[in-house]
Structure 1
Amino acid sequence: MSGNTPLIEVRGLRKHFPIEKSLFGKTTKVLKAVDDVSFHIDSGETFGLVGESGCGKSTTGRSVIRLFDITDGEIRYHGVDLAAMSEKQLKPYRKKMQAIFQDPYSSLNPGMNVLQLVSEPMEIHLDLSRSERRNRVVELLGKVGLKQEHMERYPHEFSGGQRQRISIARAIASNPQFVLCDEPISALDVSVQAQVVNMLEDLQDELGLTYLFIAHDLSMVRHISNRIGVMYLGKLVEVATSEELYARPAHPYTQALLAAIPVPDPRVPFAADRLLQGELPSPMESGVGCKFRTRCPFAFRRCGEEEPELLEIAPGHFAACHLHH
């Protein structure tokens, strides 16, 4: 961890959703979407969060920006815990923490044109006149590669990539410090994905932004992230710098995710033996031991008896695996 206080510090985060209730309203079954997750994000860096669908990565991201109440834990922003704050107490922090989601069409109001969509966060958070807001929208559209004449158009008139650019302009309109990027490119055409990632990196440099970048695909996260956390069934199983994770993946799950990335070279044999075996178990099953053991080719007795802790196995490299402890 760096010497200065991280911008975001998550400690012991838990988010449980009630699934079944008894006749008397008591919760009888709980989905542990996020189960004791801790990490930090330094100012100006990108922390990537990766894992299969249903692993809890989006729930983690949305908890960090307090889109819903959490079950337990701390979410510190500049050292201040947001976890227990009411909506009224959160208001000054809202403009500093913004989000870009996977599907820009569902996050943009179809009845508002681009001028209204991008200026709305300014109306809420910034004290600007109407003409100042309009000038700022023109400036923001330029930053995301759109033209001034796009201002009067509506979301349905744009391509998916252009809509995501509008979402990004809207997210940076209130001068945030932190942006949650929740699978912002996975719904986009492959040819557009790299453009959007490059634009996010340019904006980060220009505006001094800090990102939590969530994806299920390790290959794209590698290019944008300083550090990466790998999630499996509500737990972080590995955290390391981007280079270290690719060069020396320690957790069998991370190794399997990396083996699944196709190599554009027909001479390289496909590592089928390293791919994931079996189905993703239900997050409802709590059980003892390592959650990954049912799909792990290296599982041994201890894996079924005690859950491994996330421990430092090399400087700045953490893994939750009995093979390394």
Structure 2
Amino acid sequence: MMETRQKLIEVKNLKKYFPLKTSLFKKGKQVVKAVDNVSFHIYKGETFGLVGESGCGKSTLGRTLNRLYDPTAGEIRFDGNDIATLNNKGLQPYRKRMQMIFQDPYSSLNPFMTVEEIIDEPLEIHTSLSKSERKKVIVDILGKVGLKKEDMGRLPHEFSGGQRQRIGIARALSTNPDFIICDEAISALDVSIQAQVINLLEDLQKELNLTYLFVAHDLSMVRHISDRIGVMYLGKIVEVSTSDELYDKPLHPYTQALLSAIPIPDPIKAQNSNREIITGELPSPIEMEKGCRFRSRCPFAKPICGEIDPQLKRVDGEHYVACHLY
């Protein structure tokens, strides 16, 4: 069934490198390979989860997809059109269709603008609606995210963290987008509030037929909201699978270690569980050696792992893995 679904986002060999300033004693240009030759797709109407350690390139990948960062190389096909090389003018029709919800709901909102002004700004840029028409749209959007008309005149600091994130969601919805990147959208919130925001995002997805890229650290929460999940390690996606299969049958040693690190609420079970602890040194993201990037921390590393970089290949159905063990 998944094979017949339409792809909204299709990424091919995407790279995003950040140049570093070099000293007098180092020759040549050095770069941080934040996203390195990544390929995947997202179906229309689904939630694609993206997980991995801090610094693995998850947020950079998300910000490159909606062109907050210019890609170094590769293709970003949005609804069949490659937007990777478009200039600002060419991107204008796509800006309103791709929106972003940021991690910190306070720093991502202008503290000197009212809720009405925050949500009205993208409407004024991307639509030809009159001021009165835009005001009606704002009231409707606030209702969708659980806020009131009376909140329009208030400033961000007058709201709680969860309410501020609802304002951020309302701003993202204002242009009636097809695709929303949730960049650690719940990690700064209390656990009880996280569940409320997740439920809100799921309800909005069903109502508005939205497609999400959900970037997060909380693996249990990612399983709850995602249809498929990609696991990222040092700029590369090492495994992609449906949510249930990834948790029930993880293939890549890194994925297995990540899932093993999920806290177990029962202290007795936690004490008796066989946790896989990642050991070894983390490779430098600047001077990448050839071969698998996880081999220095992998208990199953073989000689070939130091020679050839494993490519993402299909193992079964929607399950892909980049590992020489398969």
TM over 0.5: yes
Equivalent residue for 2:174?
A: 173
Q: Per-residue deviation at 1:267?
A: 3.5
- Flag the 1:196–1:69 CA change in 2: closer, same or farther, 3 A: same
Equivalent residue for 2:286?
A: 284
Q: Deviations over 1:44-76 (max 9, x none)?
A: 001011011110111111111011211000000
Query: Secondary structure at 2:254's aligned position in 1?
Result: helix
| 1:1-325 alignment runs, 5 A limit | 2-21=3-22, 28-270=29-271, 271=273, 273-324=275-326
Q: Deviations over 1:257-312 (max 9, x none)?
A: 10111122234245454122244332112102110111112212222222111111
- Flag the 1:217–1:282 CA change in 2: closer, same or farther, 3 A: farther
Q: Deviations over 1:221-264 (max 9, x none)?
A: 10111000000000000000001101100001101110111122
Return the alpha-carbon distance in structure 2 between the equivalents of residues 236 and 4 of structure 1. Answer: 22
Amino acid in the other structure paired with 2:150: E
Q: Per-residue deviation at 1:81?
A: 0.2
Amino acid in the other structure paired with 2:207: E
Query: Secondary structure at 2:314's aligned position in 1?
Result: strand
Percent identity, please: 65
Query: Secondary structure at 2:139's aligned position in 1?
Result: helix
Return the alpha-carbon distance in structure 1 between the equivalents of residues 269 and 314 of structure 2. Answer: 32
Return the alpha-carbon distance in structure 2 between the equivalents of residues 225 and 149 of structure 1. Answer: 34
Return the alpha-carbon distance in structure 2 between the equivalents of residues 269 and 184 of structure 1. Answer: 28
TM-score, normalised to structure 1's length? 0.96
Return the alpha-carbon distance in structure 1 between the equivalents of residues 287 and 270 of structure 2. Answer: 36
Amino acid in the other structure paired with 1:151: M
Amino acid in the other structure paired with 2:279: Q
Query: Secondary structure at 1:141's aligned position in 2?
Result: helix
- Flag the 1:88–1:22 CA change in 2: closer, same or farther, 3 A: farther
Aligned residues: 322
Amino acid in the other structure paired with 2:310: P
- Flag the 1:27–1:75 CA change in 2: closer, same or farther, 3 A: farther
Query: Secondary structure at 1:274's aligned position in 2?
Result: coil
> Does the 8 Å contact 2:53/2:217 carry over to 1?
yes
Q: Deviations over 1:165-188 (max 9, x none)?
A: 000000000000000100000111
- Flag the 1:27–1:65 CA change in 2: closer, same or farther, 3 A: farther
Runs of 5+ consecutive residues of structure 1 not aligned to the other structure: none
TM-score, normalised to structure 2's length? 0.95
Return the alpha-carbon distance in structure 2 between the equivalents of residues 142 and 183 of structure 1. Answer: 24
> Does the 8 Å contact 2:260/2:275 carry over to 1?
no
> Does the 8 Å contact 1:178/1:209 carry over to 2?
yes
Amino acid in the other structure paired with 2:316: A
Return the alpha-carbon distance in structure 2 between the equivalents of residues 278 and 185 of structure 1. Answer: 31
Amino acid in the other structure paired with 1:319: V
Amino acid in the other structure paired with 1:322: H
Deviates more, 1:127-136 or 1:57-66: 127-136
- Flag the 1:280–1:162 CA change in 2: closer, same or farther, 3 A: farther
Runs of 5+ consecutive residues of structure 2 not aligned to the other structure: none
- Flag the 1:27–1:69 CA change in 2: closer, same or farther, 3 A: farther
Return the alpha-carbon distance in structure 2 between the equivalents of residues 235 and 164 of structure 1. Answer: 29
Q: Per-residue deviation at 1:142?
A: 1.0
Root-mean-square deviation (Å) = 1.5
> Does the 8 Å contact 1:5/1:79 carry over to 2?
no
